[in-house]
Amino acid sequence: MSIEARLTEKGITLPDAPAPAANYVPYVQSGNLIYVSGQISSDENGLITGKLGDSMEVEAGAAAARRCGLALIAQLRAATGSLDKVKRVVKLTGFVNSTPDFTDQPKVINGCSDLMVEVFGEAGAHARAAVSAPSLPMGVAVEIEAIFEVE
């Protein structure tokens, strides 16, 4: 089954690939790797802001991370023209806007990791880092960058 067909079957709609918010490009391809710039948590209502361990619960943080994942996949489709060219999700690096004593960063970033496996199957399993940050751009709850291998 094609990736596009899997998205349709699962009822997953990708957003438009977000435009860069500063002086960078949304992705760079080097050889067979595509590096997608950090995608911040947002949805059709705008930015998803908050601080884990204070104004936001883990479940809401994981939902915000899933939205970052949707934006990553949208950027990937813009870069490749077809998600069927994706061979593997290589690595995710997730940043969680959280209080100093918050320790559930992995549970938050699972929102994106679970999406990658849901969309790409076994090729969605990846290496990962999940770290805290005292703040993120525009007060967003989560930012995630990714590396993908393509044909």
Tokens of 120: 């790409």
Whole-Å CA distances, 132 to 65, 101, 119: 13, 10, 26
The per-residue pLDDT for 84 is 96
Provide, for the chain, the percentages of residues in helix, strand and coil under a 3-state DSSP scheme, each rounded to the nearest 5: 35, 30, 30
- Which residues constitute the domain of residue 80? 3-20+27-150
The per-residue pLDDT for 28 is 98
Question: What DSSP character marks residue 140?
Answer: B
Per-residue pLDDT of the chain (151 residues; tens, 9 = 90+): 899 999 999 999 999 999 998 999 999 999 999 999 999 999 999 999 999 999 999 999 999 999 999 999 999 999 999 999 999 999 999 999 999 999 999 999 999 999 999 999 999 999 999 999 999 999 999 999 999 999 9
Q: What is the CATH number of the domain that holds 88?
A: 3.30.1330.40
Question: What DSSP character marks residue 149?
Answer: E
124 closest CA partner among 135, 133, 112: 112
**SS3 state of residue 13:** coil
Domain count along the chain:
1
Distance between CA 98 and CA 126 in Å, rounded? 24
The CA dihedral of 71, 77, 78, 79, to the nearest 10 degrees, is 110
The per-residue pLDDT for 77 is 97
Q: Are 53 and 98 in contact (CB under 8 A)?
A: yes
The per-residue pLDDT for 86 is 97
Q: What is the pTM of this model?
A: 0.97
The per-residue pLDDT for 21 is 85
